[in-house]
Amino acid sequence: MIVRHVIPLLLFTLLLPSSAAAEGRLGWYPESISLSGQDATQGLLVERIDARGHGQDLTHVATYRSLDETVCSVDQNGIVTATGNGTTIIEATVDDSVIQVPIHVANTALPPKRHFQTDVVPILTRYACNSSGCHGKAEGQNGFKLSVFGFDPIADYAALVQEGRGRRVVIAAPDRSLLLTKASGVTAHGGGVRLEPDMHAYQAVRDWIATGAKFDTDYPEVERIELYPRERILDFGSTQQVRLMAHFDDGTHRDVTPLARFHSNNEALATVNDEGFIQVGSAPGHVAIMASFLEKMETLQILIPNPPQPDLATNTHSSQPIEPKNFIDEHIDRRLGQLNLLPSDQCDDATYLRRVHLDIIGTLPTPAEARKFLDDPSENKRALLVDELLERPEYATYWSLKWSDTLRVDRGILGHKAAYAYYRWIRESFENNRPLNEFAADIIAANGAVKNAPQANFYKAVTESGERSAVLSQVFLGLRLECAECHHHPFDRISQTDYHGMRAFFETVSLKPTARGEMMMSEGDAKVKHPRSGNDILARPLYGAPTASEEPRRELATWMTSTSNPWFSKNISNRIWAHFMGRGLVDPVDDFRATNPPSNPELLDGLSQSFAKSGFDAKTLIREIVASNAYQRSTTPNANNERDEQNYSRALFRRLDAEVLLDAICQVTGVPEKFEANPLGIRAIELWDSGSRHYFLKLFGRPLRKTACECERNVDASVAQVLHVLNSSELQNKLSHPNGQLAQWANDHRDNTQLVDELYLAFYGRRPTDQEVNNAVNYLENGADRKTAVEDLGWSLLNSYEFLFNR
Amino acid sequence: MKNSNRFCDGINRRSFLRVGAAGAFGASWSLSQLHQSAAAAAAATDRSLIIIFLQGGLSTIDTFDMKPNAPAEIRGEFDPISTNVPGTQVCHLLPKVSQEMDKFSLLRSMTVGSSDHSKADHHLLTGYRVSAAFKGGNRPNNEHPCMGSVISRKLGPRGSIPAYVTLPDMHKSAGAAYLGPGAAPLTIQADPNDPNFSVRDIVPSLDLDASRLENRAGLLNQVDRYQTAAEVQANRTLRSVDAFRERAFSLMTSPAAKRAFNIHAESDATRDMYGRNTLGQSCLMARRLVEAGVRCVFANHVDWDTHLKNFHSLKVDLLPPLDMAMSALYRDMHERGLLESTIVMVTGEFGRTPRINNEAGRDHWGPAFTVMIGGGGIHGGRIIGSTDEHAAKPADRPLTPEDLAATIHHQLGINGHDEFLTPEGRPIKIVNEGRIISELL
């Protein structure tokens, strides 16, 4: 399907508040236009910044007029097209305001000069001919293969001009070229009609063929691209056109908006179409729109504030603004102010108690712990509780579980003994609160006898050099290198050379059995061959110089984990932040790239600097996070922030991890789970082998540890999960177990009020309200059988959202 | 739904509905995904799919593509018999099937990309060959979604009935891959031939009488203070659980689902007709589920990997149950008017070697084998393609799993050119270059 620059004017006039037109002055981009060559085009952008600093794009509202049609014409979307040499003016009118844009046109007598690399390849990309779903697939499509995103113009040229028995490109009769007849649907084409003969792109390809379908080695290369605008504050429901200019190394430039690719990093907030036209939704937040042309990319950052609300100051949903607890709140409060967002109230003690238990140690508080905390009158009891939790053994258990997932503690591959040794090493690191830079460096530079360095088992679980480098980069730097194995990363500046430069560090790894046990050694040179050119690529840190070190992996470890590494501290602090807040500042947490910027860059910088300054001490970072107002907010939305799930204006509901949920169920019912090949009493968060079979854990999304992606741990819901908690005999047996906790409490507390108190403290970590006591006591007293009624009550508590979620 | 007057397990449906009307089970459908699938379902051709998968690889040279004139070391021990379609013959051990030949067609020139079980499984069930990085041992091992998951995602459930069900357990390549858990199958995880067969977690485990279940539901309504709170609408995760809870309750209380899962409600005569074994009862279960509204049922049957004693196994253990189950399924579906709207496909992941090995067995053979497919607008009684004199290679009209996927999706009203986005943002077409097998339509 072909989308044109046809945008109904009516839509725009409706969207713009009429009063806004009175404010601000019209602005435009580019300031002046110089066009070179027949049919050269340039899009204008007309806008106004209103008194609040909010952008109003008027590009498709303005009316345009060329003062000299023999020099250039202009259409109603502001697209200026050269017609003859000379200078003139384009007038754009909005209401009573008129702007004048100087136009200079030259070289229209010269036939257009099209280059394969900069004119044809971008068209193949823009119209998705070379996409991975079509001819860009590894095996091509119907015998015609292009490189995905056009990363290999030499091969693409060969495919078009040399292969296909000369039918794909026919220089003598360009319109008979299969490339054009297929793309325009004249010849049957599985991919449908992509280009029509009256389109610029069609003409450009046709011109290239007609002038000999050459592959020039000397052509103007793209030096940089310029996106306009780069930052905007936009209202709900507003729209924004962008323009993308390419600057070439011969000093020329041209509008490449029609050939660019656009991408929104948060489609819930704003979408962008193929024409670079952005539609803002109706939720507040920060969104980045990426524009790319060939291998260059730029980003427009948009802030979308809540609409102004007259009653903001007297909002009854929220208490008075509270003082920031630390730098975290300063950064968040500033962002909330920009977005007109009012934070929810602070949560109560019981909610905090349960939340920090689940977040720090993956374990529910017991009724006794809950009573002690709730009845403690001390001012600083929340901080004291956190200190206590950070010293509990479950802290190391829970966090080593999380790290064992992405670091591939995989018994199926490693075998029991090695997997356990590897796990123990991770666990001891958390027991001793080792600085996370040392932890990471020990894995990256592992060497020597495996029995002394069990982290070397990582290299047995992940055996290929490319995958090793990709996994370690993803886990420790939050970068997804693997896209660049076969082609330039489509959303980042990572090239194939960058990928293979990182991969080369792991080419020398060798694991050998020796008389002293298995040894991890380095052998050979840290270099690999470029898969296309065949040239040697020496090991080099991402975007850095080739290493000259005798111990390349040691150098890599130092580079990756240093305070000056651009990603390490940010990535780790973002991961920990996301664990506590339910959403990373960079989201997903392992997708750091220029085109997926953090939603609050100052906060990420703050966290990262503080983390580095503490010597990469996870506990210090955790203390800062859980002390912030941001962490301590209630989940209850107010009328103002109910659409915000991005900016930490309220706490989010997070489903418990499979292991944590199962342990919680075992704890409240007092009936432990017996896991295959483990002694009774081992908790699910203590299971170091994610391969041990268990229906509940599988159903609730325990990862198989087959990838480095945090997303492998699945916290999505399913009908089967809901049914299992509602109906399964496993859980029912825990509720009705004669020696279980419910039976015991029913026996200990003959007084129903006390019993209900106990149950609420156990399941929810809070005391019941009077209403809740009444309801429950009523149920217990009107049921025929007290045991049955207690089970029913336990069943209801277990199935409630308050239990199933961390909130 | 048909026959909603019968509700034979003691749970009072009306009582649930009453509580439901009072708001017991939370907000209405709120996932946009559910909305979309409902809309898609209304627009699509309303057809279903049953896959009877003979895992290990049915020997089609001994059954549906016999070579009676081949040398003894290829021909094998069995003889062909005529069918109710003149000119078409099948193995004499399939007498009942031979009388239903007019209800399905034979794709005799099917080729699969590998003679390795898990790779061939994946290719046949997804329409995609595996990559070099394929890990066949993973459970599920899908690099691409199984056809059932595509159907689930594109068409969504019919009411409270799950869209995609696998039984008795889940085949390793029956998963949803990048379509995510929402498109994963509901797995029965029980053998329908088991005298105590019941479906896991669909009904409460203990003997809850109607009033107790109602009490519990009412109590949950009181206890769960977030169920009706603003939090549900404001949290995406909570919204999805809320929608799934509603679906779960609707499944639990749906007479159609309950009836479908209760194979014991079937008459002895019918159960006997399908055969009192796992394959037979799985086929019967498949019919019941489709009848109740399931869009894709994937019944997996193992033991077809006849490397040893191929002829003995087929004759004694495998073909008699297949003859009963397959003939009963086609006939029963036809008689109930379900075959018009349901594609029934019977296939292994590949065929078996033309040459008989030293153990009187046949080994894996991907280059040529036969797929049986009928119903859902697909003609019966036709033969598409043929193999050479030894059933070693297609002699004409070579067909691929991609073509099979293109045909099935087309018949279900799914556009094979539509794309899914993987989590990495990579667009992947539903059908990978397959061409619709027009001779079937």
Q: Which of A722, A795, A798 to substitute to test the interface with B, most B CBs within 10 Å? A: A722
Do the chains contact at A722 and B222, CB–CB below 8 Å? no
Residues in A touching B205 (Cβ below 8 Å): 727-729, 732-733
Residue A377 lies in a domain: no
Query: pLDDT tens-digit profile of A251-303?
Result: 999 999 999 999 999 988 999 999 999 999 999 999 999 999 998 999 999 99
DSSP-derived letter for residue A118 is I
Q: What's the pLDDT score for residue A8?
A: 35
Q: What is chain B's length?
A: 441
For helices A770-782 and B210-223, what crossing angle results, to 10°?
170
pLDDT of amino acid A22: 40
At B214, give phi and psi (nearest 5°): -65, -40
Q: Are residues A485 and A514 in the same domain?
A: yes
Beta bridge partners of B164: B296
Residues A170-181: b if buried by 16+ CB within 10 A, e if exposed: beeebeebbbbb
Cβ-based neighbour number of residue A309 at 10 Å: 12
Nearest chain A Cα to B160, which residue? A719
Q: Which residue has the tokens 């909005």?
A: A94
pLDDT band at A11 (very low <50, low <70, confident <90, very high): very low
For B241, the closest chain A residue by CA position comes to A717
Q: What pLDDT shows up at residue A10?
A: 32
Same domain, A121 and A78: no
Nearest chain A residue (CA) to B177: A712
Q: 210-229 in B: which are within 8 Å (CB) of A?
A: 212, 215-216, 219-220, 222-227, 229
Question: CB B236 to CB A711 under 8 A?
Answer: no
Contact B85, B383 (CB under 8 A): no
Residue A540: pLDDT over 80: yes
Whether residue A130 sits in one domain with residue A53: no
Dist. CA A118–CA A124, nearest whole Å: 11
B-interface mutation test, from A647, A719, A724, A792, most B Cβ less than 10 A away: A719
**A723 neighbourhood in chain B, CB within 8 Å:** 201-202, 248, 251-252
* Chain B residues with beta carbon closer than 8 angstroms to that of A715: 237
Put simply, whether B360 touches A (Cβ < 8 Å) is no
A720: nearest CB among B186, B235, B236: B186
- Assess if residue A566 is contained within a domain: no
Residues with Cβ < 8 Å from A571, sequence gap 6 or more? A476, A477, A478, A479, A589, A590, A592
- Write out the DSSP string of A280-348: E-SS-EEEEEEEEETTEEEEEEEEEPPPP-GGGTT-TTS------SSHHHHHHHHHHHHTTPPPPPBPP
Mutate one of B139, B223, B418, B429 to test the A interface: name it (highest A CB count within 10 A).
Answer: B223
Q: Are residues A556 and A414 in the same domain?
A: yes
3-state class (DSSP) for residue A583: coil
Q: Which residues of A touch B225 (CB under 8 A)?
A: 800, 802
Beta-carbon pairs below 8 A across chains A and B: 155
**Could you give the angle at the alpha carbon of B155 between the alpha carbons of B150 and B161, nearest 5°?**
105
Q: Three-state DSSP class for B347?
A: strand
The number of helices, as runs of H, and strands, as runs of E, in chain B is 15, 16
Q: Name the β-bridge partners of A244.
A: A227
In a domain, A473, yes or no: yes
- Between β-strands B296-301 and B48-54, what pairing exists: parallel, antiparallel or unpaired? parallel
Cα–Cα distance measured from residue A662 to residue A666, given in angstroms and rounded to the nearest whole number: 6
Looking at beta carbons, which residues of chain B come within 8 Å of A729?
205-206
Residue of chain B whose Cα is closest to the Cα of A799: B220
How many folded domains does chain A comprise? 3
Q: Are both A95 and A175 inside the same structural domain?
A: no
Q: What is the CATH number of the domain that holds A108?
A: 2.60.40.1080
d(CA B148, nearest CA chain A) in Å? 17
Q: How far is CA A666 from the centre of its chain?
A: 34
Query: What's the mean pLDDT in A58-72?
Result: 96
Cα A593 to Cα A479: distance, rounded to the nearest angstrom: 7
Instruction: Supply φ then ψ for residue A260, to 5 degrees.
Output: -85, 160
**From the candidates B201, B251, B294, which should be mutated to test the interface with A, based on the most A CB atoms within 10 A?**
B201
Candidates A145, A474, A480, A723: best to mutate against B (most CBs of B within 10 A) is A723
Nearest to B296 by CA among B48, B42, B47: B48
Closest CB to A728 among B201, B219, B224: B201
* Residue span of the structural domain in which A173 resides: 116-210
Final residue belonging to a domain, choices A494, A528, A560: A560
Q: Write down the H helix ranges in B293-356.
A: 310-312, 319-335
The pLDDT score that the predictor gives to residue B5 is 29
CA A178 to chain centre: 40
d(CA A95, CA A97): 6
Is A307 within a domain? no
- Identify which of B206, B212, B247 has the shortest CB distance to residue A719: B247
Q: What is the ipTM of this complex?
A: 0.79
Cβ atoms < 10 Å from Cβ of B279: 25
Q: What is the percentage of chain A residues whose pLDDT exceeds 70?
A: 96
Q: With both helix axes pointing from N to C terminus, report the angle between B210-223 and B13-21 in degrees, rounded to the nearest 10.
A: 20
Pick from A714-723, A731-740, B198-207 the range whose average pLDDT is largest: A731-740
Please answer whether residues A209 and A169 qualify as being in contact, where contact means their C-beta atoms are separated by less than 8 angstroms: yes
pLDDT at A705: 83
Measured between CB atoms, which of A728, A792, A802 is closest to B216? A792
A556 and A496, same domain (yes or no): yes
Q: Is the pLDDT of residue A734 over 50?
A: yes
Determine the Cα–Cα distance for residues B110 and B124; give it in Å rounded to an integer: 10
Comparing CB atoms, the residue among B186, B237, B429 nearest residue A133 is B429
| pLDDT for residue A375 is more than 50 | yes
pLDDT score of A320: 57
Residue with tokens 């003939």: B327
- Which DSSP category does B379 fall into? P
**B181: which DSSP letter?**
G
Q: Name the amino acid, one letter, at A6.
A: V
Cross-chain Cβ contact B237/A652 below 8 Å: yes
Q: Which two tokens stand for residue B39?
A: 């809309």
Radius of gyration of chain B (CA): 23
Peptide bond into A566 cis (omega under 30): no
Low-confidence ranges of chain B (pLDDT < 70): 1-45, 205-210, 424
Distance from CA of A220 to the nearest CA of B (A): 30
A77 and A189 housed in the same domain: no
Domain check: are A457 and A555 in the same one? Answer: yes
Least confident of A44-48, A780-784, A796-800, B333-337: A780-784
Cβ contact A643–B234 (<8 Å): yes
Q: Is B181 close to A799, i.e. CB distance below 8 A? A: no
Q: How many residues does chain A have?
A: 807
Q: Which amino acid is at A138?
A: A
A137 and A36: one domain?
no
Rg (CA), chain A: 31
Residue that finishes a domain, picked among A560, A588, A619 = A560
Burial of B253 (0-12, 13-18, 19+ CB in 10 A): buried
Domain presence at residue A553: yes
pLDDT at A338: 93
Among residues A176, A210, A244, which one ends one of the domains?
A210
pLDDT at A703: 85
> Is residue A130 domain-shared with residue A102, that is, in the same domain?
no
- Determine, yes or no, domain membership for A403: no
Asked if the structure places residue A51 within a domain, the reply is: yes
User: Considering only A1-10, A309-318, B203-212, which range has the smallest mean pLDDT?
Assistant: A1-10
A312 pLDDT exceeds 60?
no
Q: What is the pLDDT of residue B161?
A: 85
Residues from chain B contacting residue A797 (CB–CB below 8 Å): 223
Give how far A149 is from chain B: nearest CA, Å: 12
Instruction: Specify whether the CB–CB gap between A235 and A54 falls below 8 A.
Output: yes
Specify whether A50 is located in the same domain as A160.
no
Chain A contact for B393, CB < 8 A?
no
Q: Note which residues in 158-187 of chain B have CB less than 8 A from chain A.
A: 162, 180-182, 184, 186-187
Work out the burial of residue A374: count CB atoms within 10 Å of its CB; fewer than 13 is exposed, 13-18 middle, 19 or more buried. middle
**At CB < 8 A and 24+ separation, what contacts does A787-792 make?**
A787/A736, A787/A743, A787/A746, A788/B212, A790/A742, A790/A743, A790/A745, A790/A746, A790/A755, A791/A735, A791/A736, A791/A742, A792/B212, A792/B215, A792/B216, A792/B219
Extended beta strands in A389-508, E state:
448-449
Asked, for residue A478, whether it belongs to a domain, the answer is yes
List CB contacts (< 8 A) between A645 and chain B.
234-236
| The pLDDT of residue A206 | 95
Give the C-alpha separation, B19 to A200, whole Å: 63
A45 vs A101: CA distance, rounded Å: 11
Q: Which residues pair with A92 in a beta bridge?
A: A64, A99
Domains of chain B and CATH, by start? 48-200+262-440 (3.40.720.10), 207-261 (no CATH)
Residues of chain A positioned with their CB less than 8 A from the CB of B423: 709, 711
- Closest chain A residue to B157 measured between Cα atoms? A719
**Amino acid (one-letter) located at A208:** W
pLDDT tens-digit series, residues A625-636: 999 999 999 999
A12 lies in the same domain as A135: no
C-beta separation of A524 from A507 below 8 A: yes
